[in-house]
Every structure is written in C-alpha cells, then in structure tokens.
C-alpha cells in the first residue's frame, strides 16, 4: 500500500487512461490518493476516471496529447492549486515502427517529444516542487527496449535508454531531499496498446506480464530506485546489458521477429 502522507495527497499520471496507467490509478485510489489523469483518448480516460472516482477519491482529467506545443501549460492549469506528491510518467507508446533512414523524420521527432521532451518538462516542474517540500516520488515507466537497439524502433529504444540513465542521475540529485525516483522497466505487458499493435504475445515461453502486477511492483518498490525491472524480466535486462553487442542485438532481433504481425 502506498504511503499517501509521503506521496499524496494528489498524484499525476501521464498516460493514465488504460493499461498500466489505469492500474496505477486504481491502486492509488484504493490507497486514498487523489488523481489527475492525463491521456489522449477521451473514452478510456472518462471510463477510468469514473471507476476510480467511485472509490471515493477526487479525480481531475485532462485530455491532452503530450506532443502538442507546451503541454505543461495545460497541465499546470489543472494542477497549480494542488499538492502533487507523486508523478507517474507512463506516456510513451508511440514507437513508430519504421526503418529510420526511410522513415518520416517528423514522426521520429514525435517519439522524442513524447518520450524525452515531455518527460523532462513534467519531471522538472513537479520534481522542483517535491524537492521544496522535502517529500514525494517520481516513477518513469521505461522498457526493456531501452537496453538494446532494435530495428524499426531504433529511436524509441534510444529514447527509453535515455529515460533510464536520466532516472539514475535524477535519483542521485533528489535522494537526499526526500524524493524517490524510480525507472520502472517493463517487458512485454498485455496492454491495449500492445494488443492494438497486433503483437503475438502467445509464443510458448514468452514472459508476458499483467498490467496490474507491474503497477503493484512499481508502487511497492518506489523507494528501491533508481531502477526496478518488473514482470520477472531482471535476467533479461542483465543479458541485454552484456557483450558482445553484435551477437546480442542480432539474437534479440531474431526473437522479436516472431512477435510481429504478418506483413500486409
């Protein structure tokens, strides 16, 4: 159970409408933490807000694309009067699968804008307020993709690698000020986004995590930063960090091809 005196009374969840973000919302609501849910899709956003509001907490919603110009301005309009003790940055699914040199550079820039620029903006704002108060927590939801370059999602993988290294440095900066920082690394997780992508998650032996389980792990291990690898993927993260890189990268690429939907 999350300590709402340390990480409350309000939490901001970017990407809080479905999948792991929605499960974070439910678990925080069960602990009595009020919520600001930010997401692009109005339907799932309203549905999750209604469900967690029924648990007795206050909920504010913001329909927002974090790659839009200056998303922090819109976020501050709904949060400046609140005491936010927890930031969960769970937005980052727009991996844009395409070979880099023949892909759309603007689409790649959007991947960076969401996974790096928006993350930095929100973390800078709320992290400063938490440091001033001397308490709080920041969870940056990462990916095993950030441990290794991958074809078709090379920019996304690089952005997730940035997030992990950024979290480690931020953890050092804030740990003596009562603010916990955690990069929560996810492997294959059965989320609506993964299902929409058409990935084959039923391969024998494939480790597929449940969204509620990884949300629980993230909250339980918030003080165990700077990095927590969720869903039983610790050994995979260690392996992906090894050498020689050519052999590891090529082997992971071959395994990934089995998950991809058939070419149209």
Cis amide linkage into residue 17, ω under 30° from 0: no
Rounded Cα gap, residues 218 and 182, in angstroms: 8
Q: Return the SS3 of 120.
A: helix
Given the residues 55, 131, 160, 234, the one annotated as active site: 160
Catalytic site includes residue 234: no
Distant-in-sequence, close-in-space partners of 186: CB < 8 Å, separation ≥ 6: 20, 141, 142, 143, 144, 209, 214, 230, 231, 233
Rounded Cα gap, residues 42 and 157, in angstroms: 28
95-107 burial string, b = 16+ CB within 10 Å, else e?
A: bbebeeeeeeeee
Catalytic site includes residue 147: no
Give the CB-side neighbour count of residue 180, counting CA atoms within 13 A.
Answer: 23
- Using only C-alpha atoms, the chain has a radius of gyration, in whole angstroms, of 18
Given the residues 156, 234, 239, 247, the one annotated as active site: 156
Catalytic (active-site) positions: 156, 160
């Amino acid at each position: 159970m999350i300590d709402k005196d340390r990480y409350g009374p309000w939490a901001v969840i970017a990407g809080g409408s479905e999948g792991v973000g929605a499960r974070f919302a439910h678990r925080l609501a069960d602990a009595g933490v009020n919520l600001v849910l930010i997401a692009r899709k109005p339907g799932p956003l309203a549905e999750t807000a209604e469900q967690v509001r029924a648990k007795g907490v206050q909920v504010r919603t913001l329909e927002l694309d974090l790659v839009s110009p200056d998303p922090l301005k819109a976020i501050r309009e709904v949060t400046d009067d609140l005491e936010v003790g927890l930031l969960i940055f769970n937005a980052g699914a727009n991996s844009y699968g395409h070979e880099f040199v023949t892909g759309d550079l603007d689409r790649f820039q959007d991947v960076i804008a969401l996974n790096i620029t928006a993350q930095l903006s929100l973390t800078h704002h709320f992290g400063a307020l938490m440091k001033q108060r001397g308490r709080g927590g920041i969870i940056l939801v990462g990916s095993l993709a950030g441990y290794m370059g991958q074809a078709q999602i090379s920019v996304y993988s690089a952005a997730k690698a940035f997030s992990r290294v950024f979290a480690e440095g931020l953890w050092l900066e804030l740990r003596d000020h009562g603010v916990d920082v955690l990069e929560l690394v996810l492997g294959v997780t059965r989320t609506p986004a993964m299902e929409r992508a058409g990935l084959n998650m039923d391969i024998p032996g494939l480790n597929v995590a449940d969204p509620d389980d990884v949300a629980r792990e993230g909250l339980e291990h918030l003080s165990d930063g700077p990095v927590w690898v969720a869903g039983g993927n610790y050994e995979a993260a260690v392996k992906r960090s090894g050498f020689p890189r050519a052999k590891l990268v090529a082997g992971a690429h071959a395994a990934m091809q089995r998950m991809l939907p058939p070419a149209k």
